[in-house]
Structure 1
Amino acid sequence: MRDLNFLFRQRIGFSEDERITLDNLDSILERTAAAIPFENLCAIAGDDSVLNEDTLMDKIFKRNEGGLCYELNGILYLFLKENGLDVQLIRGAVYVSEKATFSPTGSTHAAIILTQDGERYIVDTGFGGNLPLKPVPMDGTEVSTPTGEFRVVKEDSPYGDYFLEMKLKQKDMEWRKGYALDSLHPVEKVGSLTEAKKIITQHPQSPFNKKPLLTRVTADGNMILTDTSFTYWKHGQMVKEEIGAGRFKELAREHFKISIH
């Protein structure tokens, strides 16, 4: 298997020779979101493998799958680090706005802090259909992206010292919390996220170990596939199709390039 840098660029359709910088990271994140789906099939299958560079490369490049936050941001972190960027993996806890509380799985979200010229940014390609698609400054500056508006605010919680907040297009009229993040205790290595993977795979209240979910960002919004429905945006309008098992496999292969046996 060829090196991670080449394979990542090949998977997202990015030039082998172009240097990765803060200036072109928007393009990297947009291409990554379009090419590598957010999906939980390994969690559904009870996969208990340890996270490391080899297992992530095997899953995402050899088997051409996607993954959850610890896999997607894990491989992105390794790619950015290999390209010389100053990055750290961090943990976060998803905030469930409808219930005004944090997810019962706790600090199982993974994201990345990028530092350049003394400024810090949140980089995240593992937040389902809620992706910023560009680095979000940690100084409160609001950024506008194809998926909505995002900002990072300084606010203490049981799970960290900042919050990522968002106003998603066609969904949110007001700012809402996406997740708390802990900038003070970075994750030392990708393997340290294996515990989060174990919790997501085994926790009785995990939202990702019950039914299959595949999500991918598109030019119009995103597409969401479960075993019973396919929801997508076409010309800014949401379309929902009720489906069965056979159609689920067809759509997974057609729109997410994933073969389900």
Structure 2
Amino acid sequence: MSEDLGYGWQGDLVDLPAYLKRIGHDGDIAPTGETLRALHRAHTTSIPFENLEIMLGRGVDLALDAVQDKMVRRSRGGYCFEHNRLFAAVLERLGYEVTALAGRVTLGARKLLPATHALLHVRAPGQPHDEPAWLCDVGFGAGPLEPLPFRDGAEADQEGWGFRIQQRRTVSPWSPGTVSWELLQRGVDGWAQRHTFPMNETFRIDFDVANHFVATSTRSPFTTRPFAQKFTLDALHVLDGTDLTTTRPDGSTVSSSSLTPEQVPETLADTFGIVLEGEDVARLVDFARTNPRNG
């Protein structure tokens, strides 16, 4: 066996039958654009977004066997590094050309945040290079349902959810005119920038570094409260601390409620498909009780 130098995604270690069963995909797996769209849609609507390992006092392990055990075999969810670690390995196994990118989340941010969102630049094998590659974003928790073509100004309406990808030029005096990209999503007030990202290749070791910050820093939004999202064709369910909301594709709020800490585990199971085991239920309730969300 050749030495693993850390450049690829270890697609040969993927339990492909188990993954396909987890996301409910029983169609073609030939590495085409059609297959990529089907896998992306199945993944985003089957595997939820969640940060609960941090609340449970454990680290977030990005080793492929750990990610598969958690998200595939135990039917848990994860956040962007876990989702894209798994999806990149699956796509590599199927024969796609996969390049990871790092994005800077801007949606809802009140100040500049580090580049801690993982995205994937994907091409089908043999795809002509005069055709745009695909932007895959399975780890944000709120879509898109399907990949977006890497084409300036490309818009997609996916079951009513709206997304746009476009180029942007930086205004930094250190790199004037540098071209990067941004992903926008459509809401009740029109288009809003979700994250920005340059075309710089990111590797597994870069995931590890960013993951350490996200999972451990007091400045990370994911170390302060439970956060989960379940994305479906017609609704986005969000648990933020003990606040539960459901929104529709147009951005309108369908329901909003505040839970007691004791209601959180049951809600995670019923609404998000996240079933905690053993002592994890008590641990999460205790965390929610002793760490109330601060506005």
After TM superposition, the score normalised by the length of structure 2 is: 0.77
Q: Deviations over 1:109-147 (max 9, x none)?
A: 111001342122211111122x22222222212222232
Partner residue in 1 for 2:136: 123
Question: Is the 8 Å Cα contact of residues 97 and 177 (structure 1) preserved in structure 2?
Answer: no
Larger radius of gyration: 2
- Tell me the distance in 1 between the aligned counterparts of 2:262 and 2:29: 41
Deviation at 1:52, TM superposition (A): 2.0
Q: Deviations over 1:25-51 (max 9, x none)?
A: 222222211110011112333433542
Write the mapping of 1:77-116 to structure 2, written as runs, cut at 5 A. 77-96=88-107, 99=110, 101-103=111-113, 106-115=114-123, 116=127
1:136 has 2:148 as partner: yes
1:31 has 2:39 as partner: no
- What amino acid is aligned across from residue 202 of structure 2 in structure 1? V
- What amino acid is aligned across from residue 241 of structure 1 in structure 2? S
Q: 1:149 aligns with which of 160, 163, 180?
A: 163
Partner residue in 1 for 2:3: none
Question: Is the 8 Å Cα contact of residues 128 and 216 (structure 1) preserved in structure 2?
Answer: yes
The alignment's C-alpha RMSD in Å is 2.5
SS at match of 1:142: strand
Question: Is the 8 Å Cα contact of residues 161 and 180 (structure 1) preserved in structure 2?
Answer: no
Partner residue in 1 for 2:58: 47
Aligned length: 252
After TM superposition, the score normalised by the length of structure 1 is: 0.86
1:66 has 2:77 as partner: yes
Deviation at 1:65, TM superposition (A): 1.1
Distance 1:137 1:249, change over 3 A: same
- Tell me the distance in 1 between the aligned counterparts of 2:112 and 2:246: 27
Distance 1:108 1:98, change over 3 A: closer
Flag the structure with higher strand content: 1
- Tell me the distance in 2 between the aligned counterparts of 1:80 and 1:34: 17
Distance 1:179 1:82, change over 3 A: same
- Runs of 5+ consecutive residues of structure 1 not aligned to the other structure: none
Detail structure 1 runs of 4+ shifted over 6 Å in the superposition.
157-160
Question: Is the 8 Å Cα contact of residues 237 and 244 (structure 2) preserved in structure 1?
Answer: yes
- What amino acid is aligned across from residue 138 of structure 1 in structure 2? F
